[in-house]
Amino acid sequence: MQDNLEFLQWTKRFWDQYYPGGEYDAVARRKAAGGPAAAAPAPTPTSSSRTSGAGAARRGTTPTTAPARSVASVRTGGIATAALTQELNALKDTVTGLERERDFYFSKLRDIELLLQQACEADPELEKDEDGLIKQVQAILYSTEEGFEIPAEDGAVDDQETF
């Protein structure tokens, strides 16, 4: 229900912003747009024929809220939009590459961690040696940056959702 209301509000705002007012002349619009011209222009109804019926439609009464865009502003917007789209695509490619690299190095570290765990399970004496290679590698693997906190594993998760 809310979506329908929002869509109708958007449609009204769009109409108010871009409707120039007055009668719609399709032939003139096609000529201005460079489209194919009609064989004969349609006759425009007179004001008496428009208002003669009781159920006659009122046209051209919706006020415009913004001036029509000029051709120069549309061209500039198109160029700016194209530049921003190109920049966005470049950033997306960069993010994709960085994610791929992150996943690659994470999988390498995970493999090293699994090898160390298997070695400790096979020979528990390796884990008891405080200055051993395994302890040093584990210290590097499990070290954190200053200010970084490892999240608690007790299951206390904040279930509040943000919309």
Q: What is the DSSP string of 65-90?
A: SSPPPPHHHHHHHHHHHHHHHHHHHH
At residue 129, the pLDDT reads 81
Q: What confidence category does residue 37 fall into, taking pLDDT thresholds of 50, 70 and 90?
A: low
The Cβ-side half-sphere exposure at 35, using a 13 Å CA radius, reads: 9
At residue 62, the pLDDT reads 54
Taking 50 as the threshold, does the pLDDT of residue 49 lie above it?
A: no
- Give the mean pLDDT of 57-85: 62
Q: Which of 50-59, 82-91, 123-132 has the highest mean pLDDT?
A: 82-91
Taking 80 as the threshold, does the pLDDT of residue 162 lie above it?
A: no
- Give the mean pLDDT of 35-63: 49
Which pTM value belongs to this model?
0.40
Nearest-angstrom CA–CA distance, 22 and 28: 13
Taking 70 as the threshold, does the pLDDT of residue 41 lie above it?
A: no
Nearest-angstrom CA–CA distance, 14 and 25: 20
At residue 75, the pLDDT reads 58
At residue 40, the pLDDT reads 52
Give me 84's structure tokens.
Answer: 């921003």
